[in-house]
Amino acid sequence: MKRNVVLQLTGVERHYGQGETRLSILKGADFALTSGEIVALVAPSGTGKSTLLHVAGLLEHPDGGEVTINGHACEGLSDEKRTAVRRSEIGFVYQFHHLLPEFSALENIMMPQLISGLSKKEASARAAQLLDYMRIGHRAEHRPAELSGGEQQRVAIARAVANAPLVLLADEPTGNLDPDTAHYVFDALEALVRQSGLAALIATHNHELAARMDRRVTIQDGKVVEF
């Protein structure tokens, strides 16, 4: 499979506050992510992992530099167009699953597809397919409260890729899980990335899981560096 650069950060800067209280988190950060690649982002708390993911996922504007998704520069886009790029090109998974409690697992995965304009029939079929792929098809009609932590996170992963994005950004996706469950969830995530050609950047404190990824990066002095 040909690997293309689907996410590029070039000279990205991100600051908070002003004047003497200004805190510089990212200082000319460069990073590239290719299709089919899983990269671990391992860095101590407070160094900017979440900030990097938010900027890469177009949830925050950088104060300098450029974010390029699939060859298209995003900084000059309107908020409406940035939202459209997030919806179609980027999937997010967080430490807390953020599933909608009043909807079933199947319906949670259908939701982003319906928002993107798919018919209910198409959305339901793809949601069922993803649940089967994540080995929890038998839990399709269960609500989040009826699922285990590992099952909830697998539903969250399936929801994140429901619109077939190019990039998956995950912020401590196994942080709330016990070690055995964390490995099981990562197995499912890794298989999904390998089979689909998705590109994944995963922030984690779990060094065992990080060692299983294609490469590891960290943040030092506001820049992204390879281990």
Give the DSSP H or E segment for 9: strand 5-16
- The three-state secondary structure class of 206 is coil
CA separation for the pair 91, 67 (Å, rounded): 16
pLDDT at 2 (0 to 100) = 59
- Do the beta carbons of residue 68 and residue 10 sit within 8 Å? yes
- Do the beta carbons of residue 89 and residue 48 sit within 8 Å? no
- Do the beta carbons of residue 33 and residue 58 sit within 8 Å? no
pLDDT at 105 (0 to 100) = 97
CA separation for the pair 55, 139 (Å, rounded): 34
Rounded to two decimals, the pTM is 0.91
The helix-helix angle for 120-133 and 105-115 (nearest 10°) equals 130
Each residue's pLDDT, cut to its tens digit, for the chain (227 residues) gives 557 899 999 999 999 987 778 889 999 999 999 999 999 999 888 888 999 999 999 999 999 999 999 999 998 889 999 999 998 899 998 877 789 999 999 999 999 999 989 999 999 999 999 999 888 999 999 999 999 988 998 999 999 999 999 999 999 888 878 888 888 888 888 888 888 889 999 999 888 889 999 999 999 999 999 98
List of E strands, 42-163:
64-69, 72-73, 90-93
pLDDT at 227 (0 to 100) = 84
Q: What secondary structure letter does DSSP report for 43?
A: -
pLDDT at 51 (0 to 100) = 93
pLDDT at 82 (0 to 100) = 92
pLDDT at 169 (0 to 100) = 95
CATH superfamily, region 5-226: P-loop containing nucleotide triphosphate hydrolases (3.40.50.300)
3-state DSSP percent of the chain in helix, strand and coil, to 5: 40, 25, 35
Sorted by where each begins, the domain ranges of the chain are: 5-226
CA separation for the pair 185, 95 (Å, rounded): 12
- The three-state secondary structure class of 88 is helix
